[in-house]
Structures are given as C-alpha cells and as structure tokens.
Chains A and B, each alone.
Chain A
C-alpha cells in the first residue's frame, strides 16, 4: 500500500537554543528579569525576534538583550556579567537584535573596558609611587 503525504499543516513551538552550562542544564530564566527566555523582557510586548537574547561568550550566562543593556548602562555594573562577575562578552550571532541595539551594546562594553583600563593604569601608577617611596 502506498501512503502519500500531500500536505501537512503542522503546529510547532519555537524555543531559543540555549547553551548548556557546566552542570549540563540550560538556564530557562533570564538572570536579570527572571522571566523565561521564551517570554519577553519587561519592556517588550512580543517575544522572539522583537526581544532577542544575548549569549555570554566568556561565561555560560544568557540574558534578554534589553535586560543586559539596562544592566550595562549602570556604571556600577563595571561591564561584568551580573551572574558570575566575569567581564561580560557576547557571542556575535547574525540577526540577533537590531544593529542599533548591538551597536549600543558594543559601545557600553567598550566604555566599561576603557574605564577598567584607566583604573588599572591608576593602580599601576599608585603602586609605582609606592615603589618609589619605598626605595626612598
């Protein structure tokens, strides 16, 4: 007997393909707003394309793009991941977020980086002065 499928009207659901962390389980909630990734961040209405995710590259933590933007806008964040306190770097993935949003993200991350570097220089200068004082 021949069974031929002519047409199929299927129903499916989409899910973010999330990175699995060290323990082998993918986080389901955004670490900042505590809403599932498949839902929206607090300022969005529609999930999915309109409210994209950002996957951490240095660490395994993921966030809603809009959530991490808000986090990094604060000086106190110092450009660190809010979960593990490593410097936050993200994976560049095509079509994730608008170019404007990604640009903003890039600017923020670079700003924090510059801040950190300046602090480091000052620290080095301080320690250099200390050294000088000690040699005196």
Chain B
C-alpha cells in the first residue's frame, strides 16, 4: 500500500512550485560521458519512449514492457559490462544485486561486470512503485527485476545478432556463455568487447526471451563477490564525503538547538577571525560558516554567537511529551481497523474463563546515525543549474528541490550519486533537507564548489527521528486459549503530515505508516479495533529502517507471547495455530523454530524467544537465545533467522542484510534513545547515543526459504522481529514483559 500511495503522492506533485515535470531523456553522449565509457560502446537507441507506468496496463510486468538496454547496460570495447544502477547503494548491496540480474540474462562472466550509478533522470529511472527516482521500502530488486532481465536479454540478443552477421551464420546457432559468443559448427568465437561496436548499430529487439530459473548460472548462487568488496577494503571507494572538486570550500551550518527555532541575531566577528574561515552567511535554515577546510569551518562555528527565537520551537522535554501522549491516549483516535466488537469480545472472554492482557508500550525517538555523516558537494554550473555529488536517495525530489531554490529547470540539476555510508532511511526525505541546505549555501556563495558537512553532533541532534510512540493494547484469549479480541491505540507523530505525501498517505486521520503491521496483522482476530492519534510537534521525524513495523511488530509480538502464556500455550504452537492461512509466515516460523532447536530444554538463566512478521512483502521469523545473569543483566547469545523474500538474486547479500538487520534491531532495543530536556536533545554523539558494538553482537544464523515467487526486499524486513524475539526470550526467563524501550531503561543492560 505504501508504494501505491507514494506513487500517487508523486503524481499529485510536490506543491510550492515543485511540480513533477517529466524530464527529457539525456543524450547518448551525455550518457556515455556520465559513466565514462568510450566511443563504440553498446548504448543503443537513445530515444526509446516508454509509458511511464506500464505496470498499470500490464500487471505481470513491473515497469515498461519493452526492453531498454540503453538505460541499464553498457558493453564496452574493453570487454567490460557496466550495469547502471538507478538505485542508491548505501550498503545493502543493490549495485551488485542489479548487476547480477543483467549479467545473468546477457550471460556475462562475473569478472567483467562493473557497476555504476545512473544519472538522475525520472523518465528513465523512476522507481516503478514510486513514479519518481528513489530508493526505499525495500523495493529496489522488486521494481527492477523485469526491466533489468529484459535489458540484459536484449543486449545479449544484439550481441548474438552482431556475431551472426559477422560470421554469416544463423543467429539460432550462436551461443553465449561467460562473456564469450560462439558458433560451434565453424569453431568461431568472439568476446563481448569485440562485438560491442557492431552490436550497438543494430536495432533493439522489442521482444526477448528470458531465462528459466533452472538455467541460472549467477542468480541465486552464493559465491558471487560484491562488486564493492575490494574498493571498500583498501580505502579507494569514494563517498560524497571524499569528493574534492577544484577550489572546493567546506561549510558547516549552525542550526537551532530547539526544533522549530529560528535565527534572531548573529554575532560572527569572532568566527570571521578564525584562520581559514572565508565567509559567514545567515540563511533561513541557519548560519553557514564557509572555510578552507573542515576543521576551520568547525572552529568558526564554535566561535559564532547566535541568539535563537524559540517562539515556535518545541520546548517540552520527552517526559512531558510522553505524559501528553498518555492523556491523548485516553480518548478514541482515528479508526485504522474495526472488525467485530473488540470491547465486547474482551469482556466476554474475561467473564467466561478466558484472560485479558493489558500492555502499554513506549518507543523512543531514534536517530539513524549512518556512519557517513550527511554531506553533499554542490557546484553551480556556468550555464545555469548545478551539479550535486551526494549519496542521493530521492534523486527526483532532490532535483526538483534544488531547481526550486536556484530558479532553474529540474533537468539542469545534475546528480552524481556516490556510494553512501549508510542511510537506514535518513538520506531519503520529502524536502531533500541536507541537499537543500547545501544548494542554498552554494547559491549564496557561488564562487566555489561548496561541501556541506554535518558533524556527528549535527546528525544526532538534527532530528528526522523515528517518532516517539505510545501504544496501549488490551487483548484477550477465551477459555480455550483462542485469541478473540484485540484493541490497540497508537499515539505519535506523522512524518507524512505537512509533506506533499500527506494528501494520500494520511487517510481519515490515519497515517498508514503509523499503523502498518498492526491494523493489518496476520493473526485472525475476529474482533479487532486499532486506532491512532497523530500528534504535532516541531521535532522532525522520518521513516527509519522498516518504518512503522519498528514499533507495531514489537508491540504485537510481545503481546502474543503474553497471551500465549495466559492461554498456557507454547509461543510457537500458539502462533502456528493462527497462521494456517498464511503459509509463508508459517513457513518461516517453522523453519526458524526447527533450526533453533525450539522446545529443547535450556540451562538455568538461558531464555529463548520467537517473533514472526511480514513487512515489505517479505516474511521473517527470528528465534533469539539470551542469558540473564544473576544480577538480571541480559546478553543476546544467538539469533536464528528464517526469511522468505521470493526468488533470491544474491543469497550472500540477503544473508548479510539479515545479519545487519539483527544487529540494527538489537542495538537500538538495548540502548538506543533520543531524549530531550526542555526541547534540547540530550544526546550528542556516540558517547551518549550508544551504538551496538562488537561485544554486543550475537551469533547470527540465517536460513533462506527457497522460492519461485517474485523477488521482494531484504534491507528492512530483517529488523522488525529481532527485538521482540529478544524481549520474549527474556520474558521466558524473568516473566517480565519488556514494554519500555530501550531495555537499558529497565536496568537490565549495562
């Protein structure tokens, strides 16, 4: 649903003059230049027009129904096959994943395959679930699958046609394997590179035959290395933080310490005296200090005296906000789900020998804190517009925002997407926040390329957090132990409210991203009432790896264990009974439980817990093993995860995402929280916003369900169930449900 709504929102436009005008396709020359390929490369037919959203007309294919090899694959005379990735790689391995799909169909040898980031171009590179170019929602493989298979197959057909013409043999007798084109009968062969120039002159086939799964030689194979596995181990991989343009200056920005505060007055005399400081500029978003280098910029900012106007700022602390949330939760919210009569079902269950369980869950604000702090380099172009070097995640939004600031056309904004040092959702914003800042500074200081750098303190204090949430749940099992009623109220901020997405993402007062995973839960509860309150605050919030499921799956799965206990049932058995109509959820639950040795006796102080959930059309179950020591301190020993994400392109990358997802979930559950005192964030850096470290990391065992279903995502779905599995493991030892996050609040984590 999220995908559909984002696409609708995109089509409705971004308001404030940022309408989504279709952009012309880049010229062939521009393309070649962009990816550094030489003349004679196979980049075919730069004109292929395509229906923007052919998925609507042909539901079996996501994206345009005709092959577009020119957009995605370049076979160069040097025998390299470069796959252009329209998606940002922020560690999830998508450059490798997309390249694998193309390489499979073109029958390349993996050693000749390269990856490059595609330019920003909505028309060529829209995410077919969004309608704009962007990465998110674990959609990258799912929306690229059809177009990349067709692109690879078309390029292969063109190479075959070129060989057929050169050798004057029937195309049907020409074979391709590992980057070599052969005609067995005449014992002739040629490399891709040798045929590239001739193939480039041939027409693009409009129909292509795709491989069958049984014929795959690359897709699904565990032994392919990531395309970035060498450059990221010898320091040569370039992130936007590493961009150094001629004459480039560095900027840092002083922002209001309170969300919603604005600049009242600035005394920059001392800052201007700091050696290396070039300029100080007041902007609507803060005060920019521009300097010769990063150190001077930071020192200059320290020397600024800025008075802030807090008239419109958030001045509450998080304790006061939570107290307000609790008051709000006393009243009914906007209805997200309403089946049967939950109140009656719960009352009846209590009256007739069943059990009701109440739970209040508190989820803190959380920062994304990607290892590479936010940054972007912006150079104004002499002919108008600008070039942006960034770990760009929502290219179309960023193009339009920059164009709006500069008063140019979106197509005059070039984006050179770089490897991103993590994101977890942070680099995708509806207003291009840090990129907009960089463009504003570049506009005010047009003399040189500007590198805007956020420090870690800027990042931790800078908002765009996973919202603070309060959940109140009452649920009941009847005398037979069947789940009969569930009432849930969710209170928190909507990060869709006030954005161009609001009109379609918020329906009847409910932001879909606040209740996903709750209002549509898989457990068949005949009497289900879920409602939500959207509260307002100047504190900025955002999607955060796995979005609403970060809290809804947690609350649901911890409650399910409490209900299983009340019903006297085993947690796995209780869930299995309820998932009869959900074979893929039941499948991962069964697999994880078997692999973890569910039901085997555990030593004193050891606990085992389970959780299962669907998010982003992927099915995941976690079993966690924990130790609770004599002092009540917990340690996560082992995580077993089972995942069903359909056809798997790169099993080792899915495995890596499950390992990383486990760490992400555990790390924040243990110690992650952003709190505020009188509106000022209490944390500043990794000494106070405590990240997961090596000694916290459990053993992680990953099991992937073999599948012929369409591929879905792996970046986010590995997160939602790991923390509740850990909580349920602790619950199995202590009998105390963990309902306030992080666990460090309960004194059980050092």
* A and B co-occur in one complex: no
B residues lining the A interface (CB < 8 Å):
none
